[in-house]
Amino acid sequence: MYINNSIIWITGASSGIGAALAVELSKRGARLILSARRLEELEKVAKVCESDSVRILTLDLAQSETFSEKAEEARSFFGRIDILINNGGISQRALAAEASLESLRRIMEVNFFGTTALTQAVLPLMKAQKSGYIVVISSVMGKFGTKYRSGYAASKHALHGWFDCLRQEMYEHNIDVTLVCPGYVKTDITVNSLTADGQKFGKMGDAQSKAMSPEQFANRLIPKLEKRNEEIYIGGKEVMAVYLKRWFPQLLNKILKNTKVT
């Protein structure tokens, strides 16, 4: 298996999808570098990973000025970085007309600028080793939009544009790019999402509470990563909206207009 013995750097690894990926990848023999802001939570994840080859590197995606140094530190753990999984990010629960510019800038700084800047810091290392794999945990919101998520959807749409371009530029360097678009996953992303004034929403969304677990998501995702698919959609019926947006956009708008969104 490609995952076995690969060196994988995961951001947002302290909880949710990132933590579940860390545990499942460790079962498959990966050597891991786990990053997030919260050291104690990263240490908890490392303890349940089924591997002794786990390293912790604290990282704040809003502090892109540190990324060159962080990338070199990550490389120093095992001598290379085979796969970067850009998973860290924040969501939003606010009306577009009411969201403060400060909250929008925060979302873009973390979700878009943080992700692209960290990727830029890692690319020279992958180019030097003549191989690599960049994975971006985006969202179905990168393909369409709903109420209350304008800034979040904008950041995910931006990621798709940037990484689609990067993919074309990286073929000659043997570096692949995958955009992963989850639907609803039962994590704290809604709890931690930003309201109009930039405060935490503080509640679990109805759809999230009924969704698949991060562990289920990770187990569905990993086989697809091994195939290096360029785009991956995983979720429930909400994934159908991606195809409706492409082929029947007016129908999707009618459906969303009458759908309760939390």
pLDDT at residue 262 is higher than 80: no
Query: Residues 80-94: what's their mean pLDDT?
Result: 97
Identified catalytic residue from 2, 133, 148, 152: 152
Q: Quote the pLDDT of residue 261.
A: 83
Query: Residues 239-253: what's their mean pLDDT?
Result: 97
Q: Quote the pLDDT of residue 197.
A: 95
pLDDT at residue 202 is higher than 60: yes
Nearest to 41 by CA among 25, 56, 26, 54: 56
Report the DSSP beta bridge partners of residue 34. Answer: 10, 56
152 is catalytic: yes
Q: Quote the pLDDT of residue 24.
A: 97
How far is the C-alpha of 112 from the C-alpha of 105, rounded, in Å?
A: 10
Q: Quote the pLDDT of residue 204.
A: 84
Distances (CA, A) of 209 to 18, 72, 187, 190: 18, 39, 8, 10
Q: Quote the pLDDT of residue 62.
A: 97
- The mean pLDDT value of the chain amounts to 96
Query: Residues 214-243: what's their mean pLDDT?
Result: 96
Q: What stretch of H or E contains 246?
A: helix 240-247
